Structure 1
Amino acid sequence: MRTRLAVAGLLAVGVLLMVNPLYLPVPVGEPNPAYTHTVQPVEDGSPVAGVDAPDEGVDTADGVVDYADLDPEARAAFDRARDAEGGFGVEDPASRVDSLSYPTDPSLGDGLLVVAYEGERYEFWTRTVEREPGAVVAQRVAVQPVAFLVGFFAVVAAAALGLRGRSGAGPE
């Protein structure tokens, strides 16, 4: 009887630990937003490759914006992002550029500008990236894999104990 209870207990604990991705990670606090700025040359496969300079009277959000037409803070952010490998990010909302938008899903004119600079065209991306709190990252990296492995070994132990009990090698 004890063997059956042990097998059932190990099996229940093992299965619960193995399905931990269904209930872990437990959200701890609010996500930390970061505001990113990246600049890259417009290439053939780019989503803005066919965008041209706007006609007279057309909103510049639909076309190429000249570098000189950018607000001074936006120009500084453009220069900094162009000079930095992979762009740069800020965490403080007050550090964002007021004239730029920071959507989570940028589109042309809203988080994505095509900027003409020194004869070249560049994609200027600004976006909000939601980052998970450190405790959630730790759960994903350490707790989930360890819990899964412990659960797997518990199921293997339950199977071994159950087979041992069936063969009559152990006490019931």
Structure 2
Amino acid sequence: MRTPLAVVGLLALGVCLMANPLYLPVSVGAADPAYTHTVQPVTAESPVGPGSAVDPSEIDDGAVVAHADLDPAAREAFDRAREAADGGFGVEDPDERVDSLSYPAEPTLGDGLLVVEYEGERYEFWTRTVEREPGPVVFQRALLQPVAFLVGFLAVVAGAALGLRGRLGGEGVSRR
């Protein structure tokens, strides 16, 4: 009587644990925004048009902003991003953003994406808002969900093995 109950219990536990992506992650707090500033040279693959790649020599001069014409705070952010080893930097405090720049989640030319001419070269200057997941949600997705799935899988295998052992006559067989 105990074996069928254990088999059903292990199978139920295993299925519940393996289905954890359906009920995890539980939202814990609001997303944590960061504001990024990125500078890279304009290339043929630059998104200067509405979703199209164009030859850098064909960029409309009306879309290009001279470095000297940038607001002093924007010019400082551009220089800092251009000089950064990885091509950019981020800030977390909304008060540290540059007031003259926009920070959309999806930048477009003129709104989060500027083409800046500096020392004869043209650069893409990206400013955007990046929503980051709170730490507990990252923990759930990176560690808790995979471990729960693995434990659930092992519980299903154990339940199946226990059930098959009983059916194949492994239970109650006397050895002489």
Same fold per superposition (TM over 0.5): yes
For residue 130 of structure 2, give the secondary structure of its aligned residue in structure 1.
Answer: strand
Structure 1 counterpart of 2:34: 34
Taking every aligned residue pair, what percent have the same amino acid on both sides? Answer: 75
Q: Does 1:126 align with 2:134?
A: no
Q: CA deviation at 1:165?
A: 1.1
- Give the Cα–Cα distance (whole angstroms) in 1 for the partners of residues 34 and 136 of structure 2: 17
Q: What's the secondary structure of 2:87's corresponding residue?
A: coil
Which residue in 2 is equivalent to 1:59? none
Cα-to-partner distance string for 1:75-101 (whole Å, 9 max, x where unaligned): 000000000123000000000000000
How far off is 1:157 after superposition?
Answer: 0.2
Deviates more, 1:19-28 or 1:128-137: 19-28
Find the residue that maps to 1:9 and give its secondary structure.
helix
Deviation at 1:41, TM superposition (A): 0.1
Alignment of 1:80 with 2:80, yes or no, is yes
Q: Return the offset for 1:130.
A: 0.4
User: Unaligned 5+ residue runs, structure 1?
Assistant: 55-62
Counterpart Cα distance in 2 of 1:93 and 1:77: 14
How many positions carry a matched residue from both structures?
163
Structure 2: unaligned runs, 5 residues or longer: 49-55
CA-CA distance at 1:24 after TM superposition: 1.2
TM-score by length of 1: 0.91
TM-score (norm 2): 0.89
Secondary structure of the equivalent of 1:103?
A: coil
C-alpha displacement of 1:36: 0.2
The alpha carbon displacement at 1:168 in A equals 2.1
Q: Distance in 2 between matches of 1:125 and 1:133?
A: 24
Does 1:67 pair with 2:75? no
Deviation at 1:154, TM superposition (A): 0.2
Q: Secondary structure at the match of 2:21?
A: helix
Distance between the aligned counterparts of 2:142 and 2:87, measured in 1? 25
- State the alpha-carbon separation in 1 of the partners of residues 104 and 23 from structure 2: 29
